[in-house]
């Protein structure tokens, strides 16, 4: 009985230690979430303004075109997938990777028909294990991401399309709604089809509309990638905070269950000792 009680006490102590860790991780994720959410919201006005200017150029200037705006025969597809470096975030990574895998399985018969660029160690490891073609990867992003951190892969994704390495590019990321809700999202990044904006603003372009478009379109595509990364970070912290909160609650329930079992075992031990004392006293009488 004493051995059983020691084992239960050890389980209580172990679960209490786990609870302290999950509680600390929940608090860290909550702090990071606030900053990541603010960064994601701050990036949207810039992207919207770029879209407005590009839309006005595309809609208001006759004869202006750009390869990033023109559809072509699809021979090869590019996928840019945003995941995290660490786990313990509920279904954050699994949901987006499942969506990517399903899309690729439905659209392609051979690995020669697509290329993958991936942000995050979890995504990279997932595709490597399945021998899927990764042409670009980046891991180890900081919790608070700057544009310079993802500039290289964003620029490469755009230039690969311009050079004809693939004929369309899809972006996969978790769209942040709130701490409880992150939506796995697929967005066609290139060629761009939704940049036309109706606006009363009038612009004069120097040196020309074509020259401005040449500069702004790649920058806009890179900004959309950065915005998706910021959404992904906010989603990651929201998912981790929720997962750690659930883990903390489960640990509390387990501690209560173990404590009840320990008290019952202790009560049974005391009862047994009393019975033995009484039996010994009766034997001597």
Query: Could you tell me the pTM of the whole model?
Result: 0.86
Q: How many structural domains does the chain have?
A: 2
Give the residue numbers spanning the domain of 140: 29-242
Q: Which residues of 252-278 are buried (b: 16+ CB within 10 A; e: fewer)?
A: eebbeebeeebeebeeeeeeeeeeeee
Mean pLDDT within 80-94:
94
From its phi and psi, is residue 164 left (phi > 0), alpha (psi between -120 and 50) or beta?
left
* pLDDT tens for each residue of 103-150: 999 999 999 999 999 999 999 999 999 999 999 999 999 999 999 999
45 and 13 housed in the same domain:
no
21 and 139 housed in the same domain:
no
Weakest mean pLDDT among 3-7, 61-65, 271-275? 61-65
214 and 267 housed in the same domain:
no
57 and 197 housed in the same domain:
yes
Which of residues 202 and 94 earns the better pLDDT score?
Answer: 94
132 and 252 housed in the same domain:
no
| CATH code where residue 231 lies | 3.40.1380.10
258 and 126 housed in the same domain:
no
Mean pLDDT within 165-171:
95
86 and 153 housed in the same domain:
yes
* pLDDT tens for each residue of 220-262: 899 999 999 999 999 999 999 999 999 999 999 999 999 998 8
Whether residue 209 contacts residue 57, with contact meaning beta carbons closer than 8 Å, is answered with yes
226 and 280 housed in the same domain:
no
Whether residue 68 contacts residue 54, with contact meaning beta carbons closer than 8 Å, is answered with no
38 and 86 housed in the same domain:
yes
* pLDDT tens for each residue of 117-128: 999 999 999 999
Mean pLDDT of the chain: 88
Of the candidates 274, 32, 9, 43, the one whose C-alpha atom is nearest the C-alpha of residue 146 is 43
111 and 16 housed in the same domain:
no
250 and 228 housed in the same domain:
no
153 and 178 housed in the same domain:
yes
Residue 62 — very low, low, confident or very high, per pLDDT cuts 50/70/90? low
| CATH code where residue 254 lies | 1.10.287.80
């Amino acid at each position: 009985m004493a051995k059983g009680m020691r084992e239960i006490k050890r389980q209580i102590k172990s679960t209490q230690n786990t609870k302290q860790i999950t509680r600390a991780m929940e608090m860290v994720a909550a702090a990071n979430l606030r900053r990541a959410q603010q960064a994601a919201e701050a990036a949207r006005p810039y992207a919207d303004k770029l879209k407005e200017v590009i839309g006005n150029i595309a809609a208001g200037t006759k004869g202006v075109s750009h390869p990033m705006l023109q559809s072509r025969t699809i021979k090869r597809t590019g996928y840019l997938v945003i995941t995290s470096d660490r786990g313990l975030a509920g279904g954050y990574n699994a949901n987006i990777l499942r969506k990517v895998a399903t899309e690729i399985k439905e659209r392609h018969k051979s690995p020669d028909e697509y290329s993958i660029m991936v942000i995050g160690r979890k995504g990279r490891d997932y595709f490597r294990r399945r021998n899927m073609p990764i042409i670009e990867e980046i891991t180890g992003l900081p919790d608070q991401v700057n544009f310079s951190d993802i500039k290289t892969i964003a620029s490469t994704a755009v230039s690969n399309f311009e050079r004809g390495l693939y004929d369309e590019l899809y972006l996969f990321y978790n769209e942040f709604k709130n701490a409880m809700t992150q939506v796995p999202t697929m967005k066609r990044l290139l060629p761009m089809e939704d940049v036309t904006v109706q606006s009363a603003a009038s612009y004069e372009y120097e040196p020309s509309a074509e020259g401005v478009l040449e500069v702004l379109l790649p920058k806009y595509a890179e900004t959309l990638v950065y915005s998706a990364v910021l959404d992904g970070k906010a989603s990651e912290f929201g998912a981790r905070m929720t997962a750690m909160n659930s883990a903390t609650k489960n640990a509390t329930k387990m501690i209560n269950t173990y404590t009840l079992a320990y008290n019952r075992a202790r009560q049974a031990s005391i009862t047994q000792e009393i019975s033995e004392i009484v039996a010994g006293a009766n034997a001597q009488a």
